[in-house]
Structure 1
Amino acid sequence: MKKIVIQTCFFIWLIFHFSSITYAASSYYPLQTKYPDTMLYKLETNQKVIAFTFDDGPDTIYTPSILDVLKKHQVRATFFLMGVRVDKYPQIAKRIHNEGHVIGNHTYWHPQLTKTGAANMMWEINKTEKAIRSVIELETNLFRAPYGAITENMVKKLKEEGYLGIGWSIDSEDWRGLSKEEIKANVLNNLHAGSIVLMHSAGNVPGTEEALDELLTFLKKNGYEFVTVPEMWETIYK
């Protein structure tokens, strides 16, 4: 009798646990649900695909070492660059592009756009586009708002201007200066098919390089395929 009770309780826990996972996977991204042709936070898929993204670069401290790790594993990633840092470190921005990674726009000064408005967002985007274009003659249509802070009106403006807004479904929280073990735990504890992982290639991120190296090794062994954000969009609209 005791065994039956335990089994029943375990079965109920399984139902609750997996229904909670399903709910979390489908309900936390209202902007993607409402504007699926403009906003992307994760890919709805059962395939083991994952996109690593890096904000706030380039710099000369962490960006080069992160690029070294990606090159070691032959993985392409997506870098959302700040215009002011592209102007300051053009050779690092050029290296990101030359090594086959995708570049997106992350504003010029990194303001919280929900406090400054849609007009300021477009000023930030355009100034950053000019900086990127001056270095690598590239026009990007990918945009990530600082802090992920964006309003519906801003999303509509992005659509008008031909941009895709990119969020994330896993925050490594490396920006907090975490250790490699803490960063790895944040990623692996929230891992799911179709993940977009937020990491940083500048700032207070001393644990990111080693965490990335070990994450890529682990995920490869577990059958994950690494894709860029544009490759995720292509999957949606095949």
Structure 2
Amino acid sequence: MSIRLVKKVALLLLLSFIISGFPAPSSEAIPVTGKGSVLISKQQNKLNKKRLTMSQLIRKYPETIKTGGPRIKSVALTFDDVPDPRFTPQLLDVLRRNHVRATFFVVGSRAKKHPELVARMVREGHIIGNHSYNHPQFRKLRMKEFKVQILRTENIIQNIAGYKPKLIRPPYGEITEQQLKWAKSQGYKVVNWNVDSQDWKGLPKGEVKANILSTAGKGAIILQHGGGGQGSHLEGSIQALPEVIAKMRQRGYTFVTVPQLLHVSKSK
């Protein structure tokens, strides 16, 4: 249907409303014409305006949500979606050989299946953070469901590591303001990143290495993964890691854990 024909039909409908004595529809209810047009109510627009973006949340709650540390020549390696028996042991081997301590964000359901890997992380001096129970999108959860994700994982970690982690990393790096306020009230720190390896895409070693080294600077929090879903490939990330460590050290950087970088406790 052409735009001209749509306009004619709209005009006829308007005239019929006037003739019949009914009030004409308000401009809020008249859809925009043209390809891909969508009818959006004012109420929905108001809701969208109230929902803060991640960048807005970071500016509003700088003491609770962190994407990097002080501008010093230290960086923190972080690994999400652990433990995973396919990849996590290999990462731990690389870190041990290079005398680097990192921060691992643990998925509760995986820790429950592979407690020995979490125990190894702790034994080798790494820090454990909370990465939810089964990796949902927090923005789609009700508050009760969100709290269950955090507290259930926290209890599992405490039973293995001996402490309740202070650090939370939201899956996909997303969290709502209400959830963030609760985390703040409970003494948590929400930790995202400012260097993304994009290793979850199954990239080869060279691309993972370039993604990290091209953006890693003072106080960087580097995102990599130590686990994934079925069919995931993290070999490139594992192979890139020793070269990333060597190159950053050549540049004069030291590797620290997230609590060391942010000067916070590892536990609540």
Q: TM-score range by the shorter chain?
A: 0.7 to 0.9
Hey, what's the Cα distance between the residues in 1 that align with 2:129 and 2:184? 15
Hey, what's the Cα distance between the residues in 2 that align with 1:127 and 1:115? 18
Within 5 A, what are the aligned runs for 1:98-117? 98-117=123-142
> Could you list the per-position Cα deviations for residues 11-65 of structure 1 after superposition, in whole angstroms to 9, with x for gaps in the alignment?
xxxxxxxxxxxxxxxxx944333212211101241x2111100000001111001
Per the alignment, in what secondary structure is the counterpart of residue 51 of structure 1? strand
Aligned to 1:35: 61
1:118 correspondence with 2:143: yes
Per the alignment, in what secondary structure is the counterpart of residue 207 of structure 1? helix
Match 1:207 to one of 230, 236, 239: 236
1:43 is matched by which residue type in structure 2?
Answer: G
Per the alignment, in what secondary structure is the counterpart of residue 32 of structure 1? helix
Unaligned runs of 5+ in 1: 1-27
Per the alignment, in what secondary structure is the counterpart of residue 261 of structure 2? helix
1:223 is matched by which residue type in structure 2?
Answer: G
Per the alignment, in what secondary structure is the counterpart of residue 139 of structure 1? coil
Hey, what's the Cα distance between the residues in 2 that align with 1:50 and 1:136? 24
1:228 correspondence with 2:257: yes
Within 5 A, what are the aligned runs for 1:159-178? 159-178=184-203
Q: State the TM-score, normalized to the length of structure 2.
A: 0.74
Question: Retained in 1: the 8 A contact 2:82–2:110?
Answer: yes
**Structure with greater proportional helix content:** 1
1:39 is matched by which residue type in structure 2?
Answer: I
Question: Retained in 2: the 8 A contact 1:52–1:77?
Answer: yes
Within 5 A, what are the aligned runs for 1:21-100? 29-45=55-71, 47-100=72-125
> Could you list the per-position Cα deviations for residues 149-194 of structure 1 after superposition, in whole angstroms to 9, with x for gaps in the alignment?
1122211110011111000001100011111111011111212211
| Change in 2 beyond 3 A, CA 1:171/1:117 | farther
Give the ranges of 4+ consecutive aligned residues of structure 1 lying more than 4 Å apart after TM superposition: none
Within 5 A, what are the aligned runs for 1:190-205? 190-203=215-228, 204=232, 205=234
Question: Retained in 2: the 8 A contact 1:172–1:198?
Answer: yes
Aligned to 2:16: none
The number of residues matched between the two structures is 207
Q: State the TM-score, normalized to the length of structure 1.
A: 0.84
| Cα RMSD (Å) | 1.4
Match 2:155 to one of 130, 150, 158: 130
1:216 correspondence with 2:229: no
Unaligned runs of 5+ in 2: 1-53
Per the alignment, in what secondary structure is the counterpart of residue 56 of structure 1? strand
Question: What is the percentage of aligned positions where both structures have the same residue?
Answer: 42
Aligned to 1:146: 171
Aligned to 1:25: none
Question: Retained in 1: the 8 A contact 2:70–2:261?
Answer: no
1:119 is matched by which residue type in structure 2?
Answer: K
Hey, what's the Cα distance between the residues in 1 that align with 2:210 and 2:252? 19
> Could you list the per-position Cα deviations for residues 189-217 of structure 1 after superposition, in whole angstroms to 9, with x for gaps in the alignment?
21221110000001221211111111001
Larger Rg: 2
Within 5 A, what are the aligned runs for 1:3-18? none
Per the alignment, in what secondary structure is the counterpart of residue 198 of structure 1? strand
